[in-house]
A and B are shown apart, each in its own frame.
Chain A
Amino acid sequence: DGGITQSPKYLFRKEGQNVTLSCEQNLNHDAMYWYRQDPGQGLRLIYYSQIVNDFQKGDIAEGYSVSREKKESFPLTVTSAQKNPTAFYLCASSQNRAHEQYFGPGTRLTVT
């Protein structure tokens, strides 16, 4: 099946540890995105990538890092510098010339 997968579904970490969230797509989409959602709010853009080996900061990039070594994969690292990392993280992708974005199922990260 074509789609976007995120793993793990739930993730628990201790404060001060870096953690990497996985996002993979087999839709042959060029663009990929990471969003953060806090309870009762909409989504906010963390990073996006339009092509391999290129990415740009979104509205809330501080404390996060990404890589785009393969077209299919766009992992997100939540570093210890992120002050409030506990949130729901969603990955999305879209075709290069079309703008409709499709979302993965998300990862719920809890840092204590």
Chain B
Amino acid sequence: GIQVEQSPPDLILQEGANSTLRCNFSDSVNNLQWFHQNPWGQLINLFYIPSGTKQNGRLSATTVATERYSLLYISSSQTTDSGVYFCAVASSGSARQLTFGSGTQLTVLP
């Protein structure tokens, strides 16, 4: 099946700093989602972005499907941004089955 790799596995930032999280995948996809998992375990949808670029406030994401990677940008980070960020993809042959990466643990220090 499709492989998903996220980097870095851990990231510690000072409040106000910017960061870039990366997601590499091994096959063509028709679904790519970024999630934020808060300390209570809730998965919050950030972006549905199988291709192109989107922005939502301080967060933006870019997926370059032809090169099989996606980037999540967090600008002016806040302590509430802390948590685990997951990338999940569905390959073109199995549109409904999301495969998750192992996540990036982000800690934003005050």
Q: Are A and B co-members of a single complex?
A: yes
Q: Does A68 touch B at the CB level, under 8 Å?
A: no
B101 and A42 within 8 A (CB): yes
Which one, A13-21, A78-86, A101-109, is touching chain B?
A101-109
How many interface residues does chain B have, given as a range? 20 to 34
> Which chain A residue lies CB-closest to B9?
A40
Q: Kindly list chain B residues whose C-beta atoms are within 8 Å of the C-beta of A101.
A: 33, 88, 98
Q: Kindly list chain A residues whose C-beta atoms are within 8 Å of the C-beta of B33.
A: 100-101
> What 0/1 readout, one digit per residue, does chain A (33-65) give for beta carbons within 8 Å of chain B?
100010011111100101000000011000000
B42 and A105 within 8 A (CB): yes
Q: Kindly list chain A residues whose C-beta atoms are within 8 Å of the C-beta of B30.
A: 99
> Which chain B residue lies CB-closest to A58?
B97
B103 and A108 within 8 A (CB): no
Interface residue from B43, B45, B86 paired with A100 (Cβ < 8 Å):
B45
Instruction: State in angstroms the CA–CA spacing of A70 and B83 once bound together.
Output: 34
Q: Using A42-B86, A42-B100 as known contacts, list a sample of 19 further A-B pairs with CB atoms less than 8 Å apart, ordered by residue number in A.
A: A42-B4, A42-B88, A42-B103, A43-B100, A45-B97, A45-B98, A48-B97, A59-B1, A88-B41, A90-B41, A90-B43, A94-B96, A99-B31, A99-B95, A100-B48, A102-B45, A103-B42, A105-B42, A106-B42
- Pull 25 A–B residue pairs with CB atoms less than 8 Å apart, ordered by A: A31-B96, A33-B98, A37-B41, A40-B102, A42-B4, A42-B88, A42-B100, A42-B101, A42-B102, A43-B88, A43-B100, A48-B96, A48-B97, A59-B1, A88-B41, A99-B50, A99-B90, A99-B95, A100-B45, A100-B48, A101-B33, A103-B42, A103-B45, A106-B41, A108-B41
